[in-house]
Structure 1
């Protein structure tokens, strides 16, 4: 009996020692586990008090047996953050993004004074940011975006001078930005305050943030007053988004604020001046400041007294008769010059054009110049009105027109804007050549300006225009050849072929990301802040590693300028019929261009296209959203429902309203990727935001791209 008692006592003591073996940091983390009401994926299942320390627990990283990192993102954790976590004195990194955490940001957590990154975006945290955040002297990254935080930003945050990232977007923050906000963050590289309720004026010292990169996003707030001219001091590559505030007054034309499209300033009715169409009041009235009125040395300002001390009533300028005479003589002179120009121009084209034996117009040999248009030899070829040679837009172009015309060519496809050929040069270089056809020589300068601007675009997700050729009979655009055909073919297969290799979810996601990055470049970083206007899977080409390349950008405008239709046939570049005969005895070529019906093409156009002629960036966003739906569902943009048809957007909305399971919507070829359900649903939400009926409610492409980048899947 005595020995049994001793044995029980030893077991109890040993059990007590096991319970007490966990160190203080472990207990601090167990308080976090206890505050979590739901852990559906069992992310905290191995957090046990029987361990001596928490260094082997999921999401925990230690250094010298001290916790330095807590990282449990995207695990659907539901609960709150306990103050006891401040006991982790060596804690450097906290990443709890994309969970379901609620409650306030506890003061205790901010007692971990060594914190370098605090990433809590994508939760439901609320309340204000505690003033003690200013004690985090080593904080470099603060991301509280996509939560429910409110109140004003504490002035103490200026003391976090090492901050490199501040992302507070999509919350309910209010109030003024703290004084010294601009001059306090010398290392700040990213600033996103969008979709809040910040008010007051934009700090004039924000131009001191010389380390900023990418986009400074102050959009969708309540900022008022004038745009500080000092913002122009920001690095020129920085894009400043001031849309949808209450800003007013003229837009400063300095530094980083210059050469910006109107999309950076829309939603501010009080703003005026370029690049907006509404001029400032002084411009409307035509009045100039008194100090800027020029006076000739011999004249005195209007209204000055004469030698007799009386007001001079004589006009100081030209009389009305003199002004009318000058205008009439100018008009007559212009008409005479126009007649002379027209005469010489017609003679020049009649005599200079020499057709080669294959039907292409080539100038130079046997050409007789009209003396009116004799050119200086120093003029560059691209400035000539009569264009008869290939113009390179890429320094790596190492071929000329003769090599191009002698090369082997195969029809890749035909669309409403010309035929596209695969051309293989003797050196093995492969190109894609689009013929815009014949017609119109009078708009060469306009064509030249447009095509050379497009030729400057360089992005890994945008097809590069390498060169062009213009003559009366031929207009050719020469592009990089993209080997894996269009996204349409990759999703639905080639016409007439029953089987094809479907794209996995990881490949599709990378394609979605690439298209988004290409559109962000066109919308925000291209010289003219371009809009594609005709985005669809046919215009998305896939490279060697299935990377997407946006094609046919600006094509409609170029075809309109070139005039005519591609009806001219040539022996050097084979006709479509002759090519079809070649294809009967050869393997099928890539579906580079796939003709689609106008009905299908219109499904990618935003609803406002029925009322608005000119496409907008939000128009592209809608088209992109339809493409996302097509990639998720595997369906064409028109869905057969019983005996009737419904567009893909309406069909998807109907399934969501009826709360159909994901498998009813998902492409059957993705059934083996059902473990990626969270990512698929996340992309589906993005797609539905893109296809919102109201353009103003659609996100911008940069926000879409950022959201997709947060999804970690990569192609294998």
Structure 2
């Protein structure tokens, strides 16, 4: 029988081989093809299976080493079943997105995907209550976007208990009940607006923006209005109860009183408006002492101001700094029809339409007492000699002890901030945004060339200080004012003093303006306002725009960074990625690794409106290399896909 042992061994090895091969399971490609079979309207995925390289399949996310890690099936009109049991077989799946499709019904059991770090289901037709344990075990989950669906019921406690949750967007659903206590409090994105939530907002969320809770009439407490006692504004009485019936008459009486007061107020208001209109022809652009104007944000405020008497104590005349300007004097400026454009940390800004003359912008500065009258005049004359297509020309100035007034040319299309963040602004497409960034960089470079010995040639570069002419060509304003600004006020409010080196060294660097340029690039590409500019004081922090972009690129895909209003540009995403990369290197925390203005300008000039032959649709940065303080240029790489 001994001679049969080799045969038995061969049989055994063959059987073990089959068992071993079976234990390996299907490949990622086979699993994905099975997943595709559960979907409806899968025409957008027609190249699945036909392409030899998995990372060339539409909607697949791959790292630089061609390792598959996520599905991004967005804007494809997909529907059907999201087969979780099949997705569980993908060991490397950490990101899943089906934004803007037609999936419907209850939320699938994503908790089975315990490795998932990002879940995007926004803009579908999912509905119904989400089970309280729907997110149990998903300890790696950092980003949850469920906006614009039909979800109802309370917010799951398992979602609130996620330890690493950074981004949460539940807006536009029907979630009800009280907001649970979230374990994670330092959110980058947090939005519960336009649901049916009620009760008092947890104290841990009181530092969020009011817009995060808008559209929930039953909510109260900071940052919204205070609650009445221990009751929510949303707690409505049971009108069928005897107690509430007894109150009906009282409510009716109150309603009658309110209607009477409103009617009387309307009559008074009409009389006031009629009287006010008769006074609107009175001249003046400067506010009276003691008058306070709230910021009008990014939208022009259409009201005149009668403020001529506030100019006493000045030098008596407008000082023109350019020979090509003039043709009007101080009295003509005071008689001009004027409207308030905005109010900021330095003072108010006005648009003045001079009769039989030009339209100009007058900026009032209350914190320019750093130099004497003669020195201030000489410095303004120097600023007046600067001529560049991307600088808003200074035309004149008016000086007095309390404050200064600078007169600039008027830009027809307002500020860049008004278009990026204003509700009524013209939507800027990719080509216009690229044009704006190139113009801003050229204007900044011109300032560096003309102020070679100055640490901050601009000092206050931000989107509200970039204005656009009638062809949307950008022009910088409020440049070169660090020299004449009170130091304490500059450190508290000027953009360059928000650079991270202020925390480390207590003073700006020659690259601090470049940091502002980088933040501006990221703002233009993302459409997000740099919230760190709103905080008073110097130095950056861990919640600034640059850190947020770093984290999104590190965690997921760069496409999530871009402003949705800018997307849809044919063959332009690769160039957008190049500009994003430039912005990140311009605002690196480590000053030594940050690009200087020469390199930044050269790189920006290389960016084109459309891609070349390569289509960069997936941008990946190694997580281990994405420390914003140590990152080098070689750390960045592109993963080329056709997705």
Q: What TM bracket, shorter-length normalisation?
A: 0.3 to 0.5
Greater RCO between the two (CA within 8 Å, min separation 6)? 2
User: Which of 1 and 2 has greater Rg?
Assistant: 1
Using structure 1 for the length normalisation, give the TM-score. Answer: 0.38
